Chains A and B, each alone.
Chain A
């Protein structure tokens, strides 16, 4: 039996298929409630607190979040959970104080860059819209691929065509240890083995790409037709399944005889030592990276369009504040539970020689490979048939709920903050909705191409953080500066926003750089500092001619 085989059965396929059909139909059905652009883009600003919390958590908990957290959990252990602690602390702070979010919601905006026009100028809004969309779409680039990888390995699709057990190494450029005495025969066996390996990898890649295409098509269908109403309603459904799926995953990780809290922590202590638990220890993330994440999470909570849109869809400013407060545990679990899956996968693999050879060719103390396969494979092996279908439906929900929100957000930003201002006139509702739908489809096509072409980096989380920085570094500076500093000017805002572009080249740097948490932490913090300095200096040098609008006046 292949090491990629899982407990996934026909019953589980039926569960997932029924769920996918139901969610697609639901999304199309709610189209009847969309009457205006406000309905389409911010669901009429009618979402109550519980519904807003559900969609807030579902949006933040994408399958790609599960994947990159599981990968880092698998590679670095419990230390990764510090991100969950940071996320929860920031959620509690914003939720307790209403910092920024109350004022944003009070301004009755549809997108965040609208605020920049009200506070600064139309040019700042357009530049913010372009950079926001660029960062967001690049950030989203790996979502379909990562999600499809999870589905492929959790369902056992990754084992299709694998007819032999990998004995020694697994990379196509590594030959097995051939036992043949004849050197010529040995070379032939090695060559055949490598050819089989290449064919297997190609088949797995093809499977991932097909799964990615199907998922994208379903999400596009209901997002294009139903807009934000569909996004909110399906997000709620997906929240229910997600909570169930994550709960089942945690239950089996902690109760299986070969796993459990004691065995998991003991295996990490034995093979990785303190670095697996202490994020500041030598060999772990380090102080720069943790500090970068602290700033980055705060910026993302306030400015990252999919999360910020939950502020804008809230019924009133108080609901916006409470969304962050009640959603703060979600900020912890969205990173900690998937990390726990990766952490448990390490323990599981350490007890199985075949799996250990596949994932750790240099030994369990060495560098791991194929980390993206570990957590889905673990779940596929420890959760029984039937329940596995429910868990996978929950994970597919996680994939879809983030895709739909991201599609809506970036398309809304391009339509309202780039195209409409550049055309110099208000677009009608019908025009805005049509343009948004076309952009959503274009983003979907881009994701397919990017997902096939771009090679997964060693640390997917660092990729996500850097692409987010392109927009967040400048946006958070000019948002807070605009609200709380009267001297902030349009020139300063433009300089601050453009400073964020310094992060773009990092996306294309090799793994030795992007995989280094010290270098990434320094670059990330440096970019925030650069944007702040540019914003302050240019605001001092080039003040606006008209007096700055007070935040309360910055309302349409």
Chain B
């Protein structure tokens, strides 16, 4: 049973550690992506691979 306790201890350290490290990166870069998203949507511009899709038969206003 002590083997399982150790396993869960390290699983938590690795899993949670990598998540919070990822969060530290995602928070600032996500803010940058939001700014880009608004810029793309606001300009009606076409990001790579975006905004053309089936069923959309009206041009953006």
Interface on A for B, CB 8 Å cutoff? Answer: 33-39, 42-54, 57, 78, 81, 84-85, 88, 105, 108-110, 114, 229, 232-233, 236, 239-240, 243, 247, 250, 261, 265, 269, 273-274, 277-278, 315-317, 326, 329-330, 332-333, 336-337, 340, 416, 420, 426-430, 432, 556
Binary interface encoding of chain B residues 21-38 relative to chain A, with 1 for a CB under 8 A from any of its CBs, else 0: 011011111111110111
Instruction: Tell me the bound Cα distance from A428 to B59 in angstroms.
Output: 11
Instruction: Tell me the bound Cα distance from A233 to B36 in angstroms.
Output: 12
Assuming the contacts A110-B53, A326-B22, A430-B58, asked whether A274 and B47 have C-beta atoms less than 8 A apart, the reply is no
- Partner among B1, B9, B28, B58 whose Cβ is within 8 Å of the Cβ of A261: B9
Instruction: Tell me the bound Cα distance from A184 to B37 in angstroms.
Output: 73
A84, chain B: closest CB distance, angstroms = 6
Q: When the two chains form their complex, are residues A277 and B11 in contact, meaning their CB atoms are under 8 A apart? A: no
Instruction: Tell me the bound Cα distance from A99 to B39 in angstroms.
Output: 31
**Chain A residues in 8 Å Cβ range of B11:** 81, 84-85, 332, 336
Interface of B is mostly: helix
**Residue on A nearest B20 in the bound complex, by CB:** A247
Assuming the contacts A36-B56, A261-B9, A330-B22, asked whether A269 and B1 have C-beta atoms less than 8 A apart, the reply is yes
A413, chain B: closest CB distance, angstroms = 13
Q: When the two chains form their complex, are residues B38 and A333 in contact, meaning their CB atoms are under 8 A apart? A: no
**Residue on B nearest A105 in the bound complex, by CB:** B49
**Chain A residues in 8 Å Cβ range of B16:** 250, 332-333, 336-337
**Chain A residues in 8 Å Cβ range of B5:** 78, 265, 269, 277
Number of interface residues of B (CB under 8 A): 46
Q: When the two chains form their complex, are residues A46 and B41 in contact, meaning their CB atoms are under 8 A apart? A: yes
Instruction: Tell me the bound Cα distance from A526 to B47 in angstroms.
Output: 44
Q: When the two chains form their complex, are residues A50 and B55 in contact, meaning their CB atoms are under 8 A apart? A: no
Q: When the two chains form their complex, are residues B50 and A50 in contact, meaning their CB atoms are under 8 A apart? A: no
Instruction: Tell me the bound Cα distance from A34 to B58 in angstroms.
Output: 13
**Residue on B nearest A30 in the bound complex, by CB:** B38
B17, chain A: closest CB distance, angstroms = 8
Q: When the two chains form their complex, are residues A427 and B55 in contact, meaning their CB atoms are under 8 A apart? A: yes
Instruction: Tell me the bound Cα distance from A236 to B59 in angstroms.
Output: 28
- Partner among B4, B29, B52, B60 whose Cβ is within 8 Å of the Cβ of A39: B60
Instruction: Tell me the bound Cα distance from A399 to B21 in angstroms.
Output: 23
Assuming the contacts A44-B40, A44-B50, A316-B49, asked whether A330 and B8 have C-beta atoms less than 8 A apart, the reply is no
Instruction: Tell me the bound Cα distance from A239 to B34 in angstroms.
Output: 13
Q: When the two chains form their complex, are residues B55 and A232 in contact, meaning their CB atoms are under 8 A apart? A: no
B24, chain A: closest CB distance, angstroms = 9
Q: When the two chains form their complex, are residues A53 and B26 in contact, meaning their CB atoms are under 8 A apart? A: yes
Instruction: Tell me the bound Cα distance from A48 to B50 in angstroms.
Output: 11
Q: When the two chains form their complex, are residues A46 and B51 in contact, meaning their CB atoms are under 8 A apart? A: yes
Instruction: Tell me the bound Cα distance from A482 to B23 in angstroms.
Output: 36
Contacts beyond the supplied A47-B37, A330-B22, A426-B57: 10 A-B pairs with Cβ under 8 Å? A36-B56, A45-B51, A48-B33, A54-B30, A88-B15, A243-B20, A315-B47, A329-B18, A330-B19, A332-B11
**Chain B residues in 8 Å Cβ range of A105:** 49
B54, chain A: closest CB distance, angstroms = 4
Q: When the two chains form their complex, are residues B20 and A44 in contact, meaning their CB atoms are under 8 A apart? A: no
Assuming the contacts A46-B40, A336-B16, asked whether A556 and B30 have C-beta atoms less than 8 A apart, the reply is no
- Partner among B18, B34, B51 whose Cβ is within 8 Å of the Cβ of A44: B51
